[in-house]
Chain A
Amino acid sequence: MTTRHPRVTALAAAALVAAAGLAGCSGGAGGTGAGTGIGARQADAPGPDARPVDGGTIVYAHQQEPACVFGGWIEQAYLSTQVLDNLVSLDDDGTVVPWLAQSWSASDDGLTWTFDLRPGVEFTDGTPVDAEAVAFNVGYWLDGGNSTAQVWLAGYVESAEAVDDTTVSVHLSRPYPRFAETVAQGYFGIQSQHALETRTPQENCEAPIGSGAFVVGRWDRGESIHLTRNDDYASPAANDPNQGPAHVDAVDWRFVSDPTTRVDSLRAGEVDAVYDVPAVEWADLGAEGYDEQLYVTPGRPQQLAFNTAQGPFADERVRKAFAYAVDREPLVETIGQGVIPYEGNGGVSRATPGYSEEAAATYTHDLPRAERLLDEAGWSTVDDDGYRTKDGERLSVVLPYNSGTIVTADGASILQGIQQQVKAAGFELDLVPVPPSGFFGGAYSQPEERDIAAGYWTSVTAGILYVNWRVGTDDDPNFNNSAFWDDPELQSIIEQANSTADVAAQDALYEQAQVYIADHALSIGLYDRISTLAVSPRLVGVRQERSQGGPVFHDARFVD
């Protein structure tokens, strides 16, 4: 054999070709999108004479496919809101506006809510949207028909009944002045009673029958779900610019889980709108002419809750040390490319009414202070690897996180940054990405199994605090109390707030609760969850729904 090193040559050649193909266009030298990434090009903008037209099918790429349309997961809320109407909706500034209910009121003692429904609305199966159907839905939620709806209503709503054809009466055990805001969320979509009673749970889950702007058509699992226009749509919300049926014929709601592919298909013109734009693409897409909408969701932000029941974090000083050891803001700003907002508050996000700035500013990066606190707490010796020890035991903490769904890739990078930062103070942070199944199997749900929990929970009001901080009892455990905090003082502040009618007073109480959470370092915020949408200039009128984010296509039209 007289050839020299053919194999190596071949591999080297392959590498060179690949590199040449890529290097010539490698943009993005900095991280903030000043350069353009591979594949960037100007969006196909409509010409100057273009007019909005009716008809057509919107192709929309969403990131996560749920098991079925209606259920307790936010991904289901995004879908079900297309086909179901709620009693009320939210305006851009958070005001509650009429939808299926024309008006509503609470009794003086706050224990009875009365909703007046608009007459003449029908479900797509022909049955009327009347008080009886609505009351049935409330009972359905209370019985667990939607796990998230149930969690919101538990402890407050007892029953509902139809007073007459268009009047529903909801009975509460305790006052809840923000009840109307709460039922604006997608989990509280009204379904046809007839459908719920006569069809199987599977059918109702896959294709719920409502009175909404679209109807569930074909569902190609793993690929897309087809929503067709409800031509008889006559019940848009009061703040909806389009007061009739949808302009487009259908929505092809596709599932594309890889963020890069989603964005690139938008660029290629294969889809008209995408959800969950990765931070690194945000600037480019804007520059290329796409309409970008960013909505900071109210509710619990992406935060870290410490296990206060057992382990090193049972000691408040250790929790505070952790909070001082991390330098969250630059971390989030860099990895989030300036798109993801930093959030210091561990209770609620900045978009939530009653947000406490004081709670958000409680902990800033202060490494010496962190070290002092650890010394005080007894973790004063340092082992060879640089981690703190106490009585021979290393300061080792476990943070399992739900990778892929609850914590995105950006989030995972941020957590890795946290891991590095706390190492300087002597914490050994063990990150454990858990696939959804593990989480859903109850893995890491016990206090012995984890020291920190990460997660967010969208909500319209600060009432989410009750869901997250209610003390669990033996009869009525609260698996959503991820810090295992069992001091009733916090709960009583929140319960008081929940039942306070005056907005200012209520906000003050909620803020008090957040300050309490911060003072005791029960939970620290990382970043606010954002709901991002990027829309092609060919499509106008797409907006985001205000209770949880997520696209609304009812008013959308193509421009030609």
Chain B
Amino acid sequence: MTLASSTDPRQLSLPTPSGGAGGPAVPDRASSWPRLVRRVVRRLAGAAVVLWGAATVAFLAQVALPGDRATVIFNIRAGQPIERTPEELAAINAQYGLADPVVVQYWRYLTGLLRGDLGSSYQQFRPVTDVIGEQVGSTLTLTLAAIALAWVIMVAWVTLTAGRGPRVSALGAAVDTTVAGLPHYWLGIVLLLVFALRLGLVPVISGTSPLGLLLPALTLAIPLAGFMGQATRTEFETALQQPFVVTARLRGQSDLGVRLRHVLRHSALPAVTLSGWALGATISGAVVVESVFSRAGIGRVLVTAVNSQDLPIVTGVVVLIAALYVVANLVVDAVHVILDPRATTS
């Protein structure tokens, strides 16, 4: 892939603005405000389009369910997997409007979404929003705790092992890579086995106590820390070479102080960026972790729903998380702009 771009003058310019919402990567402070507004609007519009697309994909998934949906619903509720007579199915068809043409159903679905109505669960006699709403808090708690823990671990690890000579930093990097690749279920089971069952240090069923949150959050945090660590480490080591570091040390600041106070700030940006992505990925990982630790949350709801082909719940969760993801990335972008003023408009 050797192309001419390496000598492209644009590549030597200052970093491009966040999100790359079109336009060349050239900062232009003079006429920034209208451009900023335009960018924001464009970004929001883009986000809205993505959300609409996500909702459509979800709807298509519901329609694509093989077999007769009314039979599925009836049987799930009755607990018996047998054929049903048309009379029995008529009530279900009426309730869910399954007999209407697809376009009508789609319209109803979209307008419902705008109202905040995610449809009605096939299995439970209740709206999806209720089902998800009860569980989302627990999962969000877990996710946020995991991200916070990941930061702590990552900062500690990188600060201690970066740029300290080839062996240590290579080991640090190796640990980052290995740990980033550990499957959640495996890590979770091992932690559960060792700390909860064998040593009895933490409760087995995590419940709502903070201590019970520790293992599931750790399971999610460790690979995430490894991942963020990879990105941060490089920046960290580069920053360690910078002149200001030498200056600070000459002024008598301790090594640790320098690392924490100056270098970290410069190298944390990639991790901040990653945190936006991390929200989506961690919620996704929470599905598995909640299963391992028998913890209530969206994960369990989702797995049960997938198992019982309760599509409104599955699509509801998926759309919700996609929305969260979009919002999180928007927020991260904003944070980016704030943190790094060089990343102005385009």
Residues of A within 8 A of B (CB): 1-3, 6-7, 9-11, 14, 18, 21-22, 25, 38-39, 41, 66-68, 71-76, 144, 147-148, 201-202, 205-206, 220-223, 256-258, 261, 264-265, 267-268, 270-271, 402, 404, 435-443, 445, 477, 479-480
Contact = CB atoms under 8 A, between A and B. Distances in A.
Contact of B296 (A220, A264, A267, A480): A220
Given A7-B174, A437-B309, 4 more contacts: A222-B301, A261-B204, A440-B76, A445-B82
Contacts of B310: 437
Contact of A442 (B75, B196, B197, B293): B75
A256 B74 CA distance: 25
Interface stretch (B65-73, B277-285, B323-331): B65-73
A382 B122 CA distance: 48
B15 interface: no
Contacts of B82: 442, 445, 479-480
12 contacts: A1-B166, A9-B171, A38-B198, A205-B125, A222-B301, A264-B196, A264-B205, A435-B307, A435-B308, A440-B78, A441-B72, A442-B67
Nearest to B78: A147
B80 to A, nearest CB: 6
B8 interface: no
Contacts of A147: 78-80
Contacts of B196: 39, 264
B125 A206 contact: yes
B309 A7 contact: no
A258 B74 CA distance: 26
B171 A3 contact: yes
Given A220-B134, A435-B307, A270 B207 contact: yes
A72 B307 contact: no
How many chain B residues sit at the interface, stated as a range, is 35 or more
A10 B226 CA distance: 13
B177 A67 contact: no
Nearest to A269: B203
Nearest to B174: A6
A113 B165 CA distance: 91
A441 B193 CA distance: 38
Nearest to A400: B81
Contacts of B291: 258
Interface in B35-90: 66-68, 71-72, 74-84, 88
Contact of B83 (A9, A205, A479): A479
Contacts of A3: 166-167, 170-171
Contacts of B135: 221-222
A-B pairs with lowest CB-CB distance, top 9: A73-B79, A440-B75, A437-B309, A6-B174, A439-B81, A479-B82, A39-B197, A202-B125, A441-B72
B95 to A, nearest CB: 11
Contacts of B134: 220-222
B79 A66 contact: yes
A280 to B, nearest CB: 14
A6 B171 contact: yes
Given A256-B294, A438-B309, A480-B82, A22 B198 contact: yes
A398 B241 CA distance: 67
Given A442-B68, A477-B83, A270 B203 contact: yes
B217 to A, nearest CB: 17
Given A7-B178, A479-B82, A441 B309 contact: yes
B234 to A, nearest CB: 15
A273 to B, nearest CB: 14
A223 B75 contact: no
Most central of B291, B294, B309 by chain A CB within 10 Å:
B294
Interface string B294-317: 101100110010011110000000
A10 B68 contact: no
A268 B72 contact: no
B131 interface: yes
A113 B300 CA distance: 47
Nearest to B167: A3
A402 B76 CA distance: 13
B197 A264 contact: yes
Given A72-B79, A264-B204, A441-B72, A11 B125 contact: no
A437 B72 contact: yes
B200 interface: yes
A257 B72 contact: no
B261 interface: no
B173 interface: yes
B125 A201 contact: yes
Nearest to B76: A440
Given A22-B198, A441-B68, A479-B83, A10 B75 contact: no
B170 A6 contact: yes
A72 B196 CA distance: 38
A436 B131 contact: no
Given A147-B78, A479-B83, A2 B167 contact: yes
Contact of B204 (A72, A270, A435): A270
A438 B67 CA distance: 9
Given A6-B173, A14-B178, A72 B309 contact: no
B164 interface: no
Contacts of B175: 10
B342 to A, nearest CB: 33
Interface string B176-200: 0111001000000010011011101
B29 interface: no
Contacts of B72: 437, 440-442
A468 B126 CA distance: 33
B124 interface: yes
Given A7-B177, A402-B81, A435-B308, A221 B131 contact: yes
Nearest to A66: B79
A166 to B, nearest CB: 33
B159 interface: no
Contact of A436 (B76, B166, B194, B197): B76
A22 B296 contact: no
B123 interface: yes
